[in-house]
Each structure stands twice: as C-alpha cells, then as structure tokens.
Amino acid sequence: APPPRRRTRQTWPPGHMPRRTPWRPARLAWVLMAGGAEVAAGGCIGKLDVVGLRGDVHIQGGGIDVAGGRLTVHHNSGISVVRGCKEDWDPWNFQQFLLLGNVLSYTVDLSRVGCGCNLALYLIQEPALDSSGAPSTGSCDYSPYYCDANHVCGQWCPELDIMEANSRTFAATPHTCAVSDTPQFSSCDRAGKGRNTKDIGGAYGPGPANKIDTSRPFLVNTSFSTWTCHHYVGPEQNDEWC
C-alpha cells in the first residue's frame, strides 16, 4: 500500500516554480448588484473595525452604512477597504490584506437578498497598472484604478471571489490571469474554477431543512493555507502534486 499522505511546506516540482511578481496591494470590495448593475462609488464613508488588522482601515464608495464592525449594504452599492479616509481615490491607498496562514471570518445575513441579487465579497489585485507599471485609471470614472478578471472598466487583474451569494445560492471562485512580460495583465480566466452550493443538495437555502439556513445570519470562514498537498501514488511512489 502507498504511504499515507503527508503535508509539507509550499514547494513545486522542478521547472514549475511560479514566476515572481512585484508586491501589489489587494483591494477588498463589497458589491451588491442586481441584473448586472454597475458598482456605485464615492468618497470616504467611515472607519471599519476589523479584528486582527494592525492599524485602522476605512471604507470608500457609496450606498453602504458602517457602524463599528457592522456593514449595512443597500441595493446597487459598493465599497473598497482603504488605509486612509480620503475623499478622492488614491491608487496606493487600498488596504493590502496579508491572508496567507490566516482565516478571514465574518457573519452575514442574506435573508433579504433574494434571487437575481448578488452580494459579493472579493479580492482584486489593485490598482491596475499600465505596461510601464504606473497606476491606470481605466474607463470607469466612478471607480478609477479598478480591475478584475472580467475586464470591467477595461482592465484585467487576478480576482478571488470569496462570496457571491444570495439566500438561495453561495459561490466562491478564484480567477487567474495569464503571465505577462509587463506589469499590465492582458487576459484572465473569466469563468474561474469555483464551487457552488447549488451542486450540493440540502446544503444551503432558507429554512431549517438546509444545513445552512439562510433565513438566519451565519458564519463564514475562509482559510488561506500556506501548505500544499503532496502524496504518493502507485507502487513506484511517483510524486503527485495537487
């Protein structure tokens, strides 16, 4: 029988070492959309209390109320998490979240978010950069420097959808981008490789018959592990990486 699985520090097979990329801040964006509506944006809304972060963070955008660590999201709204409270968008003011080895945890109430609506929590590699490495404002005046894996605002960048959800379904999807010879991304994986609760019967929905009852608030934990799966398969103990 093959040896049991073992966990090792993050390593890669020969010839598969990922290309190093320069440090880039990640933007944490809350978006509530219906029917593909665009994200609203504006000035600084206020301070957001986030346990585990060093220093204060604020939210910038529009259509959302903040009180301590609680956000109330209204229809067709969106925010970014930023370091300083400014009225204008600053490409270097977006909060970078150091998530490797940590858990992002929050409680969400989706009981009034019905079909056709999408409450989305996601990370993007912002600000968008041009081929010379300078911040690029893109085509959206209401949200300069924005980018994502679907070329919104005319700019590409990696995107991690931690939650795209309503009371009926919950999806989480990472999107990667093609390696570029410049700081500017030229294409990304629009569809991504995600999981959706609609594929798991009885797992999610309103009512006590579901394992996650969305008629009540529930806790979401997203773990960012620094470990990789490394195990042996077959009698020759050939390496399989996953």
The answer to whether 145 and 91 have CB atoms below 8 angstroms apart is yes
What is d(CA 173, CA 196) in angstroms, rounded to the nearest whole number?
9
The catalytic residue among 126, 159, 236, 240 is 159
The answer to whether 157 and 125 have CB atoms below 8 angstroms apart is yes
Rg (CA), the chain: 20
C-beta atoms surrounding 87 within 10 Å: 9
**Catalytic residue list contains 126:** no
Q: Provide the 8-state DSSP code for 39.
A: P
What is d(CA 183, CA 97) in angstroms, rounded to the nearest whole number?
20
Q: How many DSSP H helices and E strands does the chain contain?
A: 0, 15
What is d(CA 164, CA 205) in angstroms, rounded to the nearest whole number?
14
What is d(CA 121, CA 160) in angstroms, rounded to the nearest whole number?
9
The catalytic residue among 87, 164, 236, 240 is 164
The answer to whether 129 and 144 have CB atoms below 8 angstroms apart is no
**Catalytic residue list contains 38:** no
Residues annotated as catalytic (active site), given as ranges: 159, 164
